[in-house]
């Protein structure tokens, strides 16, 4: 996998990616379905890894619900949008930004609750 190609494809598109899940009715349905399953299957509390988080639409939602979330993405600009979109200090405190390659996650097994 060529990670430089991925970086180039998404460079400068952090805002577009943040807005993507609200851009069309179909995308809003995707967002609602994913949110439904996150609510159904995640533990009630805990530390969540959002690997390939992009700008963190789901991570911000989870942080608002009280989860601690690691936003993990290849592009730093994506992570910064998620941080800016966290409107409350408490939410920002629940989100950790980590730039990296998903193929070589820097975590031990069982580091996260989900």
The structural domains of the chain, with segments of one domain joined by +, span 3-101
b/e sequence 39-62, b meaning 16+ C-beta within 10 Å: eeeeeeeeebbbeebbbbbbbbbb
Q: Which pLDDT score is estimated for 59?
A: 94
Going 87 to 68 to 93 to 70, the CA torsion angle's sign is negative
Fold exhibited by the domain 3-101: Rossmann fold (3.40.50)
Q: Which pLDDT score is estimated for 84?
A: 84
Instruction: Determine contact, residues 114/49, Cβ cutoff 8 Å.
Output: yes
CA distance 33 to 44: 19
Q: Which pLDDT score is estimated for 27?
A: 96
Tell me the average confidence (pLDDT) per consecutive run of 10 residues in the chain, 114 residues long: 84 92 95 97 97 94 93 94 77 88 91 96
């Amino acid at each position: 996998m060529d990670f430089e190609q991925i970086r180039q494809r998404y460079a400068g598109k952090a805002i577009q990616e943040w807005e993507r899940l609200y851009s069309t009715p179909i995308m809003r349905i995707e967002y609602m379905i994913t949110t439904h399953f996150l609510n159904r299957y995640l533990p009630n509390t805990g530390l969540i890894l959002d690997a390939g988080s992009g700008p963190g639409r789901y991570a911000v939602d989870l942080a608002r619900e009280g989860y601690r979330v690691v936003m993990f993405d290849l592009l730093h600009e994506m992570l910064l949008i998620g941080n800016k979109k966290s409107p409350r200090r408490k939410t920002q405190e629940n989100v950790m930004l980590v730039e990296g390659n998903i193929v070589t996650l820097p975590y031990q097994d069982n580091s996260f609750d989900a």
